[in-house]
Structures are given as structure tokens and as C-alpha cells.
């Protein structure tokens, strides 16, 4: 973002923030812009939500939830800084912007995995979910963040619909579309393998998901897009939990399945240890464990199909094909390893 644009945006916060110096910036696959700023020796994140992204009402409700967690000693969560008018969202350059402290630590689990880190992550997550049960959102944000005592998991409903749609799609048609797209050949090869894996595993996962439609669970605000890059460690302790953009009411198993999936933990013993550490803080029912399995399996199966949707049907052009290739190479082994008895 040009310095003049950044200055115009930062003018909407108190004068202290006008002295910001850019350290680095990046754009996510979602279209969000995140700039790391240094201000008087402290670091902050300036986040620009993509146009037509989350509504202002949802973002403000989300910020209240983050503050609710922080005020209850979950200090690994960053709380957006109010602008001069008292609001935590400001408009500019065709985006909504927020400014928050840059959280310390590194997303180091995949580089240096160990049980101490896994336990710290699981127990922090359990604390977040326990506190979330007490959150009362403002009326304008209730549709996203209200606690519900008993309901079908929204993720199950969404994934049943998506999986059924893919199952009704002719795989030969998908393969022809892949072949005709102007994509690197290595990307095409990975996408073709994803289609083949989907065909051999879809029936098993569909059965698991459809069975979950008859069960109800307690729903609380959950992160819903929690993965390895969003959990920051200093040595073996979690010191940052970042990127709450997908947060809304869901059963906590959505966060466990996504995080453990991104850590590539596939052996049953490691799953059991992770669940035991989580359960020391927030108890898990056998029904939730079954939901975890259904969410894990469907996540493995649909992660690759989401890339086919993005690259083939939507035709998105991405500059960094190396990153895409890395992501696909992570997804394929997890699709290959789909099985029922995880925990």
C-alpha cells in the first residue's frame, strides 16, 4: 500500500499512530492485506479486509468477542485499538481497516514439533472455548456469535451440501476442465490426483457426515479457520492466537479438527494425547469425539476440492504457484490417509 494511503488511514487513530514505520506486508489468499508497523518501539498489525468481505456489524461483534477473551486472562488474543471516534473499524481505500498489537512468537510447531507445544495449544484452545460459552454478543451481531445450547453443527450442514454437489459432478468433466486451464503442469497433476482420491473416498465421508445430521451439539463462538500459521509459540508456550476472521458460532470440535489436521498428526496415540490435554480443561463427550472424526475426515476430503473450485471453476490467477504447489502437496497425503478410527 502506498505510504500516502497508509497515512490517510492511520489519521483516523490518535496522533500517536501517525509515526508508524512499515516493517513488512503481505496479502492472503482471501484478499486481506496485513501490514506490520513499528510505532515508538512497539509493533502493530494494520489489517485491511477485502471489499465485500465481513460486514461492519460482524467485525465489531468479533472485536467485542476478542476483548471479552482478553479481559478474562486469555492474553494470547490481540484486541483491536479503538480509532479516534471510539470504533475499532475504519473505512478507507475501499476496505475496512483495523489496528491491533502484533502478537509475539512464531508459528514454529511444524518446524520443531513436540508434546509441550501441543499441550499448550490444546489447553489454550480449551480455555478459549470455556470462556466463549459465557459471551453475550450485541443484538446486531447475535446471528454470528450467540451461544446455542443444542443445534446441528453448521459445518456439518455446509459440508454435506458441498460434498453432495461434488458427488453429483461428473469427474471426467472436471478432469477435462483441469487439462484445458492455463495452469502449471505440476499443479494440473496434483489436481488430477485430488479428483481421483475424492472418487475413492467420498462415499465413506458422506456416510459419516450424514449420520451427524441427526445429532445436536452446544455451539459457541469458535475460530473455525484455526491452523498452524495462526498459533504462535515462544519456546514451547503459545503466546499468540491470531486471525479470527472466520469466527462464528460452531461446536469446538471444528477448531480441534482444523488445528490438529494442519499439524499433520495422523497417529491415533497423538490424537488421544491431544484430546486428553484438551479434556483436562474442558470435558469432551463421546458424541463430540464422533463429531471430531466426521469433521476431520470431511476436512481432509474437501480441502483439495476447494482448490479445484478456486483454480478451475473460479479461474483465479495466482502469482505464487510455489505456495500453491506446497499447499497441494500437504493436502494429498492427508486425503490418502483418510480412515475412520482416529481416536
Nearest Cα neighbor of 310 from 300, 318, 301 is: 318
pLDDT beyond 80 at 341: no
Query: Does 128 share its domain with 254?
Result: yes
Overall domain count for the chain: 2
The CATH code of the domain that includes 77 is 3.30.200.20
Q: Report H helices in the chain.
A: 3-10, 56-71, 115-132, 142-145, 154-167, 171-180, 185-212, 253-262, 268-279, 286-308, 321-336
Query: Does 91 share its domain with 132?
Result: no
Would you say 10 and 17 are in contact if contact means Cβ atoms under 8 Å apart?
yes
Using one digit for the tens of pLDDT, what is the confidence trace for 143-167?
999 999 999 999 999 999 999 999 9
Q: Which residues form the domain of 31?
A: 3-101
* Mean pLDDT calculated for residue range 252-259: 97
- End-to-end CA distance of the chain: give it in Å, rounded: 46
DSSP assignment, residue 19? G
Nearest Cα neighbor of 42 from 93, 102, 89, 90 is: 102
The cell for 264 is 499433520
Q: Which residue has the higher pLDDT, 235 or 327?
A: 235
- Counting Cα atoms < 13 Å in the Cβ hemisphere of 277 gives 18
Query: Does 75 share its domain with 167?
Result: no
Instruction: Give the separation between CA 81 and CA 12, rounded to whole angstroms.
Output: 11
Nearest Cα neighbor of 208 from 257, 149, 269, 267 is: 257
The CATH code of the domain that includes 216 is 3.90.1200.10
109 found inside a domain: no
- Residue in this structure with the C-alpha cell 492511520, named with its chain if needed: 10
Question: How many residues in the chain?
Answer: 343
Would you say 89 and 46 are in contact if contact means Cβ atoms under 8 Å apart?
no
Instruction: Give the separation between CA 150 and CA 58, rounded to whole angstroms.
Output: 22
pLDDT beyond 70 at 282: yes
* Mean pLDDT calculated for residue range 2-26: 90
343 found inside a domain: no
Using one digit for the tens of pLDDT, what is the confidence trace for 37-82?
999 899 999 999 988 889 999 999 999 999 999 999 999 999 999 9
Nearest Cα neighbor of 242 from 22, 32, 96 is: 32
The cell for 97 is 481497516
Amino acid at each position: 500500500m502506498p505510504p500516502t494511503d497508509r497515512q490517510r488511514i492511520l489519521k483516523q487513530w490518535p496522533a500517536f499512530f501517525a509515526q508508524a514505520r512499515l516493517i513488512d506486508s503481505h496479502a492472503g489468499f482471501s484478499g486481506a492485506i496485513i501490514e506490520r508497523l513499528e510505532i515508538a518501539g512497539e509493533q502493530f498489525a494494520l489489517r485491511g479486509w477485502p471489499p465485500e468481505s465481513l460486514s461492519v456489524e460482524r467485525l465489531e461483534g468479533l472485536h467485542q468477542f476478542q476483548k471479552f477473551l482478553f479481559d478474562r486472562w486469555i492474553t494470547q488474543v490481540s484486541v483491536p485499538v479503538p480509532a479516534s471516534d471510539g470504533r475499532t473499524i475504519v473505512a478507507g481505500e475501499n476496505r475496512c481497516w483495523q489496528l491491533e498489537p502484533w502478537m509475539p512468537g512464531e508459528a514454529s510447531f511444524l518446524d520443531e514439533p513436540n508434546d509441550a507445544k501441543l499441550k499448550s495449544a490444546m489447553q489454550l484452545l480449551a480455555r478459549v472455548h470455556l470462556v466463549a460459552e459465557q459471551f453475550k454478543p450485541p443484538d446486531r451481531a447475535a446471528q454470528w456469535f450467540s451461544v446455542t445450547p443444542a443445534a446441528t453443527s453448521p459445518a456439518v450442514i455446509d459440508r454435506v451440501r458441498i460434498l453432495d454437489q461434488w458427488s453429483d459432478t461428473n469427474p471426467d468433466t472436471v478432469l477435462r476442465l483441469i487439462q484445458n486451464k492455463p495452469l502449471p503442469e505440476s499443479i494440473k497433476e496434483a489436481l488430477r490426483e485430488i479428483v481421483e482420491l475424492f472418487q475413492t473416498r467420498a462415499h465413506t465421508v458422506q456416510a459419516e457426515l450424514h449420520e451427524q445430521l441427526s445429532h445436536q451439539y452446544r455451539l459457541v463462538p469458535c475460530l473455525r479457520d484455526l491452523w498452524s500459521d495462526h498459533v504462535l509459540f515462544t519456546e514451547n508456550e503459545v503466546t499468540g492466537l491470531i486471525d479470527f476472521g472466520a469466527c462464528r458460532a460452531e461446536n469446538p470440535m471444528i477448531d480441534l479438527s482444523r488445528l490438529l489436521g494442519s499439524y499433520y498428526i495422523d497417529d491415533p496415540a497423538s490424537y488421544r494425547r491431544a484430546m486428553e490435554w484438551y479434556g483436562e480443561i474442558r470435558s469432551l463427550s463421546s458424541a463430540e469425539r464422533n463429531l471430531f472424526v466426521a469433521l476431520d475426515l470431511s476436512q481432509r476430503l474437501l480441502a483439495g476440492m476447494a482448490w479445484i473450485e478456486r483454480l478451475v471453476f473460479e479461474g483465479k490467477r495466482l502469482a505464487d504457484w510455489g505456495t500453491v504447489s506446497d499447499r497441494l502437496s500437504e493436502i494429498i497425503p492427508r486425503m490418502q490417509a483418510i480412515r475412520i478410527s482416529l481416536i
